[in-house]
Homo-oligomer: A and B are copies of this chain.
Amino acid sequence: MQLKIEKITAYCAANSILLTNQQSLIIKIITEMSSPLTANEILHELQKINPKANRMTIHRALEFLVKNGLIHKIAFNHTYKLCSHLYCKHDHHCQILVCQECGNQTEIHHAQITEALLEISKTYNFKLANPVEITGLCTKCQMKGTL
């Protein structure tokens, strides 16, 4: 965990990103939680430290963090998670397998898809954002369905 925080600090320094206290707190909350969090969940955590915090606090910070590439927003279930660029070697493109049932997310970096995406980007003159969300059913939830 400490490792992740250190990498975030290093990343910010390297990209001259200045985090305020509140922004640091929020990214710390996201880092420390094992699963992706919704804005509300982050808010509840933050309010334990800063009772004045409210929705705006969260959304402004999240917008900032997303814009600076520190976290991903997963549109499918409105969750936010640490961007893996910060603690793995993969560089640019990532894909996230999102389970429609349980919301579980698996971040992958698949060369074949990445390559295809780059081709699409050229063909359609479409500037790719990250990550690509691939929705479906995880192994567990497929099993549940057949019970």
Flag whether A129 is at the interface (Cβ < 8 A): yes
A68-126 residues with Cβ-Cβ distance < 8 A to B are: 75-77, 95, 97, 100, 106, 108, 110, 112-113, 115-117, 119-121, 124-126
A59 shortest CB reach to chain B, Å: 16
Any chain B CB within 8 A of the CB of A135?
yes
Please tell me if A142 contacts chain B, counting CB pairs below 8 Å. Answer: yes
One of B108, B128, B137, B142 near A134 (C-beta < 8 A): B128
Residues of B within 8 A of A134 (CB): 117, 120, 126, 128, 132
**Contacting pair B120 A110 (CB below 8 A):** yes
A75, B125: Cβ atoms closer than 8 Å: no
Interchain nearest-CB distance for A44 vs B (Å)? 23
Chain A interface residue count, CB cutoff 8 Å, equals 32
Label chain A's interface by main secondary structure: mixed
CB contacts (< 8 Å) of A110 on chain B: these are 116, 119-120
List of B residues within 8 angstroms of A108 by Cβ: 120, 124
A139 CB-CB contact with B under 8 Å: yes
Please state if A106 and B124 are interface contacts (CB–CB under 8 Å). yes
Residues of A within 8 A of B (CB): 75-77, 95, 97, 100, 106, 108, 110, 112-113, 115-117, 119-121, 124-129, 132-139, 142
Closest 6 CB pairs of A and B: A112-B116, A127-B137, A113-B116, A75-B76, A129-B136, A129-B135
